[in-house]
Structure 1
Amino acid sequence: MELYIRLKLILKNFGIKKHLGLLDSERNSSISSSMDYPHFCALAAQNTKVFEHFRTNPIYTAILEHVSQDIGQQYLNVILQRKCFSMQDFESFKRNDLYGGGG
């Protein structure tokens, strides 16, 4: 998979949450501005072995996979209320779980 596509997949979830205002901007900037996360994303984009399991790495999960099921449901409720995405979009989003050990 080419570098651009890998990086896009890694950052897609983060960008959607930020766009929808679902992240606490103060917390987001303090955690994700550390150099660990950007370096890890770059490494995953360049290294197939790292990319295959990047979603289970603590550097990634601290930024993107850290919420409880209840908070995740609240995120989904906001998304559904705002009618941000079509059902076709949601089907497309499911493909993300095929990459990086997410599913």
Structure 2
Amino acid sequence: MPTVIVTDGAAATDGGSLWIRIAVNGQARDYSLDRALASRGTPRYDTLSGTHGPLSKGDRKELLALLRSIADPAMWAGMVGTFIQVLQASEDA
């Protein structure tokens, strides 16, 4: 399993979207979770995206495994937990 570390994260000013940067074996990866007020009630709400747009089912599965492998998310625990919750819900759907 690769070494995964949360290196940065932020909440957007759109009413709830989240952004997280993880390092996977030293390589930075950025992900966003659309929780904008304008997205509520639309198919965009809870959409996960990477650098190149919305994540495929395979990408979501990989990200879920990576986030679950973080030994100590420290101050990012809440944000990591939210991403895991949304990813788990998409797996169960």
Larger-Rg structure: 1
What is the TM-score when the length of structure 2 is the normalising length? 0.36
Higher-helix-fraction structure: 1
TM-score (norm 1): 0.34
Higher relative contact order (CA 8 A, sep 6+): 1
